[in-house]
Amino acid sequence: MSWLTVTYACLFYAATAMFVFGVGFRIYSYARTPAPLKIPTTPAPLTPAGAGFRVAREVVLFESLFKSNKWIWLFGAMFHFGLLLVLLRHLRYFTEPVWTWVVLLQPFGKYASFLMVGGLAGLWARRFLVPRIRYISTPSDHLMLVLLLGIGLSGMSMDFVSHTDIISLKEFALGLVYFDWQPLPADPPLLVHLFLVATLLAIFPISKLLHAPGVFFSPTRNQADNAREQQHVTPWAPKLEP
C-alpha cells in the first residue's frame, strides 16, 4: 500500500468524521436552543404543515432570494442545482452495481458541472463588481468560492481534458466504504480534486456552509402563524403567578 493511498484514506476518514460530528453538533445545538417567541415573517402559513412547505420552497426554489435579487438567485440556483446533479452523479463511484437512476442521470450530471462552475463564477464576479457586496465580503468569502471552483474545475478536467483511471478510483472509493483499502491512482488532477473535497468536508461545520442546516431552523420561516390560537411557551419563560 503506497503512502499516498494511506494518506488519502486517512484524510477522508478524518474529514468525514469532522463533517458528520461537526454538522451533527451544530444541528443539535440549533435544535436544543429554544425559540421563546413566535416570530414568523408574515404573511405566514397558519399551520405547521404549511410552514414546512414554506421551508421546502426556500430550500428548493430559493423563494425569498427570488423576491430579492434576480442575479443572485440565478447564479445561486445555477450553482446549487448544478452541484446537486454533480453530487448525485458521483454516487456511481460508491455503488456497485450502479443504480439505474444514477446511470440515467449520468449525462445530466456531467454537463451540470458547467452550470455549477458558471454559477460560482457569477457569484464571485459580484464580489468584485458590486460595491455593496465587495464591502461585506471577507477573505473567507472569496476563499470559499475559490475552493468550490477548484473542486469543480479539477473534477471537470478529469472528464473533459484528460481522463483519470476511473476504474481504479472507484475501487479506491469502494475500498474506503467497506474498509478494504485499494490503491489510489496518482493522477495530479484527481489528487487535487480529492484534497479540496476533503478540505470542504472538514471546514463545513465551522464555516458559513452552515447555512445548509441553518435554513431549516430559521424561526421566521419554520414557524406557523398561530400565535393567538395556540399558546407558545418556552421552558425558561417565567410562569404566571396563580
Contact residues: other proteins, CB under 8 A: 26, 29-30, 33-39, 41-46, 58, 62, 64-65, 67-69, 72, 76, 123, 126, 130-133, 135-141, 143, 203, 206-208, 210-211, 214-215, 217-221, 225, 227-234, 236-238, 240
Q: Closest CB to other proteins among 188 and 214?
A: 214
Q: Closest CB to other proteins among 100 and 230?
A: 230
Cell of 7: 494518506
CB of 112 to other proteins, least distance (A): 21
Alpha carbon separation from 34 to 31, 107, 111, 219 (Å, rounded): 7, 45, 43, 10
DSSP string, 159-226: HHTS---HHHHHHHHHHHHTT---PPP--HHHHHHHHHHHHHHHHGGGSGGGHHHHGGG-HHHHS-S-
* Separation CA 77–CA 212 (nearest Å): 14
Q: Closest CB to other proteins among 3 and 236?
A: 236
Cell of 104: 440515467
CB of 184 to other proteins, least distance (A): 29
CB of 95 to other proteins, least distance (A): 32
Q: Closest CB to other proteins among 102 and 224?
A: 224
CB of 239 to other proteins, least distance (A): 11
How many other C-beta atoms are found inside a 10 Å radius of the C-beta of residue 232?
13
Q: Closest CB to other proteins among 146 and 186?
A: 146
CB of 8 to other proteins, least distance (A): 24
Cα–chain center distance at 221: 19
